[in-house]
Amino acid sequence: MSKKAVSQSELENWVDSVIQGHKTYGVKSKQDKYDYGILENASQLKLDYDVTIRSPKFLFLPAVESIASFNRENAKYESEIENEAFVVFGVHPYDVVAINQMDTIFSQPNRDEHYMTRRNNATIVAVDVQTPSEDVFAGYMGTATVEEGFDVLVTRIGDDAYLIDAATEKGEKLIASLSGANDADDSDIQSRADVWEENKNKLRRHELEVEPSEWPELLKKSVESPLWEEKSEKCFSCGSCNLVCPTCYCFDVQEDVNWDMKSGKRVRTWDGCMLTNFATVAGPHNFRADKAERYRHRYYRKGAYVPEKIDGEIACIGCGRCINACVAKIANPVEVMNRLAEEK
Amino acid sequence: MSKPRVAIFDFACCEGCQLQIVDMEEEIIDLLSVINPVEWREAMSEQSEQFDISIIEGSITRVEDEERLRSIREKSKVLVALGACAVTGGVNKLKNNFDLDDVKQFVYKDDAKMPHLNTSKTKAVCEVVKVDYNVPGCPIDVDEFAYIVRCLAIGKEPDLPTYSVCVECKKKGNICRFEYGELCLGPITLAGCGAKCPTESAACFGCRGWVEDPNVNAAKDVLEEYGLTVDDLKSKMKLFGSQQENTI
């Protein structure tokens, strides 16, 4: 696979050429923050951003989507699957890890065609972090850098120098317009290795004292911890921590009939285990009616249930979005895990 | 399927929620394909004593209005409260924070004693009669109203949000108003509006009423973090939330 060393202007020309030929998302400014949006030209693309408001999951699992249509009159029921190729520029390594985790979950039996179709249609251009965000702790989670799950990786290796690395066939095609650019040499590759080393230490804004691999065991011992009650007293049950999380994938499904009272659609929307009625079933019985139970569940889901499901992988990539999104300031996984470790 | 006879009645309000329905444009034809309006002051001159569904707009501010509302309830199979005034008492409830005589004097001056201005404490519709469905908001969200109407027409229980506005902000990728030091009532306010105000960079002022367990005590703790005071919160909550249950 090709590795190219390019200048800022070569990079921008490449991005512009991609935009010309593809539906392209990228990280753009949104007031004084950053979010993914449709890219119209390369100058809109921000590669030195700290963190995006939304994680890229919405590109594969939209917040609201119609997944099927029905018509009672002719008993017709059809899945609706969005099937359009697109490119996304600027995904940080920790978010790539989250996407990889979603891929594993959604491709398991009962494979989710809606998610997987979008995912297979995507070409992901990852970008190594240049500016660590205020709450990032990816350095502790092993997600400050990433080795797979992207098609192209862009790393800033100097003031006017980037290394562009195609990791897949898709990526190779995407950088075809760079064929005239210089191939990266050993010193460029070394510069990138230096960036990686540096990022592993730089992306540590909250000091995690418990290795991610120890989370499942620690949680198993902490079911009765007073922490759950204590923290959840301040919880608004607003679900913000769930909804901004790149590894939260829960959704709710509802039907809506059209005005003709015959046809309609089936819609799925993001849901979250911190929301009051998330665990409500027929009856109506709520399995987790208590705030503290819901609060605890979120951590068990991140640090015990998902790892059980997918080979020890923790469902937290250390992006810190939950820490920032929680107005009550009770959603910091680092604080929770450190405190549980202290109690033991 | 025969179309349900629907009557829309207004009490103390600006009638803006009825206007929202009139303003449904193309969809109003669809609406009329599933309901048969028999009384609707904003849109038609006919009146009726017989209807299946009554839609009540406005809050209840006079003793005679309570009687009128009870009589409507008796005739209705289903009663829907429309808009903030009907659902929570809305802005009209601000009045309840003051001495009633002072309020009358301040607003009506010399006319304060006239019988038709004999206002009493403001009540939400549910404080007078049983309400089957709420369409909250100031004004209502027409999409939500349309969804509820379609559900009622087909005999399906509408599935309405029980969560807060934060959910809709997060789905839209809005920047949290607290990040700008603003006091947003989003965390304690019932969703369903699509977070319209925060999407336009304004903090939520709670027009849809509170979620079931608004955790106001936590809200008070949060204020300190952002350099705000309990008085800031109280004054913000008074606009649409005076004397709502579980709060101030």
Residues of A with CB under 8 A from a CB of B: 30-31, 33, 35, 53-54, 58, 63-64, 233-240, 243-244, 254, 256-261, 269-270, 272, 275-277, 291, 325, 327-329
B224 touches chain A (CB under 8 A): no
Q: What residue spans of chain A are helical by DSSP H?
A: 8-21, 93-107, 113-121, 138-141, 169-174, 186-202, 215-220, 227-232, 240-243, 291-300, 306-309, 321-325, 333-343
Give the mean pLDDT of A174-201: 97
Residues shown for chain A: 344
Q: Which of A275, A277, A327 sits opposite B187 (nearest CB)?
A: A327
Q: Is A323 helix (H, G, I), strand (E, B) or coil?
A: helix
Q: Find chain A residues with C-beta within 8 A of B2's C-beta.
A: none
Residue B145 has pLDDT above 70, yes or no: yes
B172 touches chain A (CB under 8 A): yes
Task: Choose the mutation target among B163, B210, B223 for the interface with A, i.e. most A CBs under 10 Å.
Answer: B163
Give the span between the Cα atoms of B160 and B119, in whole angstroms: 33
pLDDT of residue B228: 81
Residue A122 has pLDDT above 90, yes or no: yes
Give the span between the Cα atoms of A321 and A332, in whole angstroms: 9
Residues contacting A70, CB < 8 A, separation 6+: A76, A77, A78, A255, A263, A264, A265, A266
Paired with A29 in beta bridges are A34
Residue A93 has pLDDT above 90, yes or no: yes
Q: Which amino acid is at A259?
A: W
pLDDT of residue B248: 44
pLDDT of residue B246: 44
pLDDT of residue B247: 47
pTM of the full structure: 0.95
Q: Find chain A residues with C-beta within 8 A of B215's C-beta.
A: 234-237
Tokens 């300031």 sit at which residue?
A329
- A162 falls in which pLDDT band (50, 70, 90)? very high
Give the mean pLDDT of A22-51: 97
- B241 falls in which pLDDT band (50, 70, 90)? confident
Q: Do B173 and A54 touch (CB under 8 A)?
A: yes
Residues shown for chain B: 248
* Rounded (10°) CA dihedral A191, A196, A199, A201: -110
Q: Do B164 and A327 touch (CB under 8 A)?
A: no
B198 touches chain A (CB under 8 A): no
Residue B50's closest CA among B42, B58, B38, B62?
Answer: B38
**How far from each other are the two terminal CA atoms of chain B, in whole angstroms?**
46
Contact A55, A319 (CB under 8 A): yes
Residues contacting A21, CB < 8 A, separation 6+: none
Compute the nearest-CA separation of A235 from chain B (Å). 7
Q: Which amino acid is at A102?
A: M
Give the mean pLDDT of B135-146: 97
Compute the nearest-CA separation of A77 from chain B (Å). 19
Write the ipTM: 0.96
Task: Print burial letters for A147-167: b (CB count within 10 Å at least 16), e (below 16).
Answer: eebbbbbbbbbeeebbbbbbb
Six-digit token pair at B43? 């849109």
Task: Choose the mutation target among A238, A263, A293 for the interface with B, i.e. most B CBs under 10 Å.
Answer: A238
Which chain B residue has the Cα nearest residue A252? B159
Task: Report DSSP state, residue B208.
Answer: T
Q: Do A234 and B166 touch (CB under 8 A)?
A: no
Top-confidence residue, A198 or B241: A198
Q: Find chain B residues with C-beta within 8 A of A275's C-beta.
A: 162-163, 167
% of chain B beyond a pLDDT of 90: 75
Q: Which of B173, B176, B215 sits opposite A236 (nearest CB)?
A: B215
B176 touches chain A (CB under 8 A): yes
Residues contacting B118, CB < 8 A, separation 6+: B62, B63
Residue A301 has pLDDT above 70, yes or no: yes
User: Chain A to chain B, count of Cβ pairs less than 8 Å apart?
Assistant: 103
Calculate the CA A38 to chain-centre distance.
Answer: 18
Residue B184's closest CA among B160, B140, B196, B141?
Answer: B196
Residues contacting A49, CB < 8 A, separation 6+: A27, A34, A90, A131
Compute the nearest-CA separation of B109 from chain A (Å). 44
Give the span between the Cα atoms of B213 and A275, in whole angstroms: 11
Q: What phi-psi label fits residue B194: left (phi over 0), alpha (psi between -120 and 50 degrees) or beta? A: left
Q: Do A31 and B211 touch (CB under 8 A)?
A: no
pLDDT in tens, A232-259: 999 999 999 999 999 999 999 999 999 9
Calculate the CA A281 to chain-centre distance.
Answer: 28
Six-digit token pair at A36? 């993914």
pLDDT of residue B37: 95
Q: What are phi and psi of A333, to 5 degrees?
A: -60, -30
Element (H, E) at A52: none
Q: Do A329 and B222 touch (CB under 8 A)?
A: yes
Calculate the CA A319 to chain-centre distance.
Answer: 9
Give the mean pLDDT of A148-173: 98
pLDDT of residue B111: 92
Residue B230 has pLDDT above 80, yes or no: no
Q: Is A212 helix (H, G, I), strand (E, B) or coil?
A: helix
Q: Do B218 and A235 touch (CB under 8 A)?
A: yes
Average pLDDT score over chain A: 97
Average pLDDT score over chain B: 92
Compute the nearest-CA separation of B68 from chain A (Å). 32
pLDDT in tens, A219-230: 999 999 999 999
* DSSP states of A297-314: HHHHIIIIIHHHHTTT--
pLDDT of residue B215: 85
Which of the residue ranges A91-95, A262-266, B75-79, B239-243 would you say has the lowest mean pLDDT?
B239-243
Taking CA atoms, A195 is separated from A27, A157, A158, A327, in Å, by: 21, 7, 10, 33
% of chain B beyond a pLDDT of 70: 97
Give the span between the Cα atoms of B209 and B84, in whole angstroms: 8
